[in-house]
Amino acid sequence: MPTSPAWVASARVRPVGLVGVSPTGASPQRELSQKAASYRASAERFAAPAAVLAGVGGATGSRRRFWARSSRKASADDDEVRRLPTQPAASQAAAVASSDKGGDGGWLEKFQKDPELQEDLKTFFQSLAFALTIRFTIVEPRFIPSLSMYPNFDIGDQLTVDKISKNWRNFQRRDVVVFNPPPAFFESLGEGVNRNGEALIKRIVALEGDTVEMKQGGKLYINGELQDEPFTNEAAKYTFPQRKVPPGCVLVLGDNRNQSLDGHVWGWLPVENIIGRATFKFWPPWHVGTIQASPP
């Protein structure tokens, strides 16, 4: 059998060496398997950090997308709130009224369903009407703001004023009366002093038709007779000549004669200005009692 040329043998051996036998002497299939396993291990080692990085990046991106969506939604919600239609005033009032009523229908329904409450309110208004009727027609409380009637009335004393008995009882000397001052009183004050609406309290010393005179030493004479006045604080330090009280008027003086702006300064008091007669001191407790020297 003829031998093959050398170049042919070489050509045949080289491919076998590349495919069939490795330089290390291992099987070619096994070497390829080992290399593939090595590549897979390397790929796994690099794949894990890549996956982590990809996950972080993905999470960050997801969060960014979430906050962007949330911001857009919040902006939309805010815009919706701003654009809510305004309730009409009547609707708002009705809403407030319904909230005030509560679950039981409100105070009116309570009043209608509660006989005891109805009775209490009825009693209250009846008492109030009765008190106001007495206050404006029969008797009213007053307090003393000055020392013009000292020592029988001190500052802060409170008393009752009988407003009804003047309709059947004539005023008498020594009655203590509360009255609205006449125009001459305001004229005596001078300019710049405003005491409008102020009621005064003094004692009647002379009635219409009486002749009255204050003599030296503070002695008061009525119709020529010297008057005994134990209720005064001191003798008057002024005098005035004899004069006659005109019709429809009286002369009033303060018990504290030298500290009182009274009839000896501004003249006669019209009877129609008298509000009523002081009858009883009720405050403070240590001053409780009737009016000294006042006729019954």
Question: Could you tell me if 280 and 271 are in contact, meaning their C-beta atoms sit under 8 angstroms apart?
Answer: no
* Residue 212 parent element (H or E): strand 211-215
Q: Is 128 left (phi over 0), alpha (psi -120 to 50) or beta?
A: alpha
Structure tokens at 39: 């590549």
Going from the C-alpha of 95 to that of each of 3, 27, 84, 99, 180, the distances in angstroms are 119, 94, 17, 6, 53
Residues 263, 253 contacting (CB under 8 angstroms): yes
> Is 38 labeled as catalytic in the residue annotation?
no
Catalytic residue (choose from 27, 127, 148, 165): 148
Q: How far apart (Å, rounded) are the C-alpha atoms in residues 178 and 161?
A: 7
Task: Give the N- to C-terminal CA distance of the chain in Å, as an integer.
Answer: 181
Give the whole-angstrom CA distance, residue 236 versus residue 212.
14
Tokens 């894990």, residue located: 48
Length of the chain: 296
Catalytic residues: 148
